[in-house]
Amino acid sequence: MHLPRQLGALHDLPDTPEAYDAVLAGVAEEALTRLTPQGNLEHPDCGDDIGDTSLGITSLLALAWQRGKDPRLPEAVRRSLAFHLRERVYTEDNPGYPNLKARGTGLPYARYVLEAGAHPIGDWPSTVWALLQAVDVLDLADGLVEDEQRAELLQVAQGYWRWLTEATFFNPQEAGNQAIGCVVGGLMLARHLSPEQGESVRARAIALYLDEIRARRVADRGALLPPEHGGAYDNNYGPISLSFLAQAHRISGEEIFAEDGDALARYIDARLTNGGFDNGGPRYSEQHSGFESVLGLRYFSARIGSDLGRYRGDTRWGRHAVKADGGIDGHFAWMLVWQIQDTTPWHRSPSPVPARHQLRAGTVSVAFDSRMTPSLVEAAGTYYLPAAVNRQHGFGPVTDGFLFCRPMGEVRVRDVIADGLTAKLVTKPVVGRDHVLRHVQSLYVTDGTSLWITVAVERLPGTPYLLAGLPYATDDGDRVRRTAEGQITAAGELRLTHPESDGPDHFDARADRTQEEAAFALAADPRGYGNPDEGWRHLVSSTALEADPAPGAPEDLHVFAVRYGPTGPFAPTFTYDGSGLTVRTEAFTAVIGEPAGGAQGEPELTLRAG
């Protein structure tokens, strides 16, 4: 089976002015056909996320007219705008909406579901989206919308802003993308107000960002990130937050948005595989965004100098939101407007600067979590997740059911680039169940095609093995296909094991089931509301690669050695002297310094080819 939403790299989508004009021309033709006598542009099958969608298509028609002056569009814009103002602006409180601070204000808002009291929880983000659609139309209204209608739209937009920031709790879903979107709406609205009103709204928007978003950032992998549905990062919404930060910086010029966007962009770059695959998040695990991410990934790829556009998006949404029949949906239309207006080019080459939480060269990459344990390994087009044993997840030595990967003290990292090789040495102090402190030293070396992992640790009791990953997915053209195998060789005996139980907390890679489906099955709350990352942490066991110790290691050490990538002879040797452990393979020689390190406590690493 193919993963449903891990599709093409977003920087492969044509983004020339001509390509965008063709997209807008297609939108216009479909919209003109769909436009009802009442002026409605909503997709006939739209039931939720609906309150802003007709207005979103209106904004796309307005942009198409500004660029091409199609004489059919002004009337469609005015009719569809009148429909939104007449039929989609609500001023009576939605029954059951739980996040109001003041009732009966009469302020306008947009509904997630049109029926009163039906799923009102989504009204806050729907109103943010409606505000953004409204300010886009205001930006594009010159020569297109008559003064009276424009004034009414401006009044509604001001009302949306007040409802979001006065009548309700701010950011009630703890969703960074929604909250930053609201700030962007305020910044864009401010430009259409009198100088005094505009400065007040602008100041309020920036204060909300500082006090309600930036001050509540969540730490992950050495970065501070806007919280997303209670977690640090979601691979659907995180890149959307990056797009909002890009627009906030474009509109306001405030450096705080650029600085925070740079931090989020570097974080995404570090966690993202070379092939653009990623998984994990507090709302979705593998439901990637498409056009909603393009602005942020493109804007910040240029700022940080790395190829963020390799991100595999859902290219079925590569231009705009669509329904199952392929018909356009106006949801998130402002992201298409903004990415067309922004002319920043893609940066298409990797950053040459080593990153603590990433090893990357050629077609090989390793993304590391906050504990400097691999969270994703990529080699030969196959992606490996951390395996699970006895409710413990990761890569590392295992003995008597205990996985040695959770540090008890400072983790030391050393990066080396030499002779066409890229390497990272990770040294962790780890305490086992016997309360003995051992130093686990993990060496990762790649030539851009293969990945060698060597793990050395003070001798372990019992019959240890290396937990070497869960083969999960593999590239298949421009798709990603589920798999249960990979190209891997070990110095000791290598086994691919599968859970003996078929319960939901045992993940068998041979089953037609995605990681996201398994994670939601274990999450505490329903799909779309539960935390799949939290659910996945309940996994007891999984398919796993297990490598026995390599022969010929020094007596007081257990050494494990595996190679991911093209198969062939693999017989590494190991010697130990006063300078450390020397590892010789068919491709390189490395000397891993003592765990205690030198004068600064930093373990040394020397590396040469051959």
The model's confidence at residue 601, banded by pLDDT at 50, 70 and 90, is: confident
Sort 487 into a burial class: Cβ within 10 Å, 0-12 / 13-18 / 19+: middle
CA distance 543 to 502: 11
β-sheet bridge partners, residue 578: none
Mean pLDDT confidence for 50-71: 98
Task: Tell me the per-residue pLDDT of 481-502, one tens digit each, with 9 for 90 and over.
Answer: 999 999 999 999 999 999 999 8
β-sheet bridge partners, residue 430: 438
CA distance 278 to 385: 10
84: amino acid identity, one letter: H
Residues shown for the chain = 610
Task: Tell me the per-residue pLDDT of 449-458, one tens digit each, with 9 for 90 and over.
Answer: 999 999 999 9
Q: What value does the CA radius of gyration of the chain take, rounded to a whole number of Å?
A: 27
The model's confidence at residue 398, banded by pLDDT at 50, 70 and 90, is: very high
Mean pLDDT confidence for 426-452: 97
Phi, psi of 196 (to 5 degrees): -70, -50
Give the pLDDT score at 388: 98
For the sheet with 573-577, list strands across it. 573-577, 580-584, 588-592, 605-609
Taking the alpha carbons of 253, 259, 262, 268 in that order, is the dihedral positive or negative? negative
Give the pLDDT score at 598: 77
Q: Are 291 and 320 in contact (CB under 8 A)?
A: yes
Phi, psi of 605 (to 5 degrees): -145, 125
CA distance 444 to 310: 23
Task: Tell me the per-residue pLDDT of 310-342, one tens digit each, with 9 for 90 and over.
Answer: 999 999 999 999 999 999 999 999 999 999 999
pLDDT(534) > 80:
yes
The model's confidence at residue 278, banded by pLDDT at 50, 70 and 90, is: very high
pLDDT(287) > 90:
no
Distance of alpha carbon 200 from the chain centroid = 33
pLDDT averaged over the chain? 96
Cα–Cα–Cα angle for 469, 473, 478, rounded to 5 degrees: 150
Supply 286's token pair. Answer: 């593998």
CA distance 144 to 133: 16
Supply 429's token pair. Answer: 């102090």
Give the pLDDT score at 296: 98
pLDDT(578) > 80:
no
DSSP, residue by residue, 278-316: ----SS-SS---SHHHHHHHHHHHHHHTS-GGG-B--GG
pLDDT(116) > 90:
yes
Q: Are 48 and 119 in contact (CB under 8 A)?
A: yes
Give the pLDDT score at 123: 98
Give the 3-state secondary structure of 50-83.
CCCHHHHHHHHHHHHHHHHCCCCHHHHHHHHHHH
Q: Are 603 and 427 in contact (CB under 8 A)?
A: yes
Distance of alpha carbon 429 from the chain centroid = 30
CA-to-CA dists, residue 151 to 20, 57, 81, 156, 547, angstroms: 30, 20, 12, 9, 70
Smallest CA-to-CA distance from 189 within 167, 205, 211, 171 is with: 205
pLDDT(46) > 90:
yes
Per-residue burial over 199-215, b = 16 or more CB atoms within 10 Å of its CB, e = otherwise? eebbebbbebbeebbbe
Task: Tell me the per-residue pLDDT of 136-180, one tens digit each, with 9 for 90 and over.
Answer: 999 999 999 999 999 999 999 999 999 999 999 999 999 999 999
Cα–Cα–Cα angle for 208, 209, 210, rounded to 5 degrees: 95
Cα–Cα–Cα angle for 357, 360, 365, rounded to 5 degrees: 85
Mean pLDDT confidence for 570-578: 93
CA-to-CA dists, residue 31 to 39, 62, 136, angstroms: 10, 12, 18
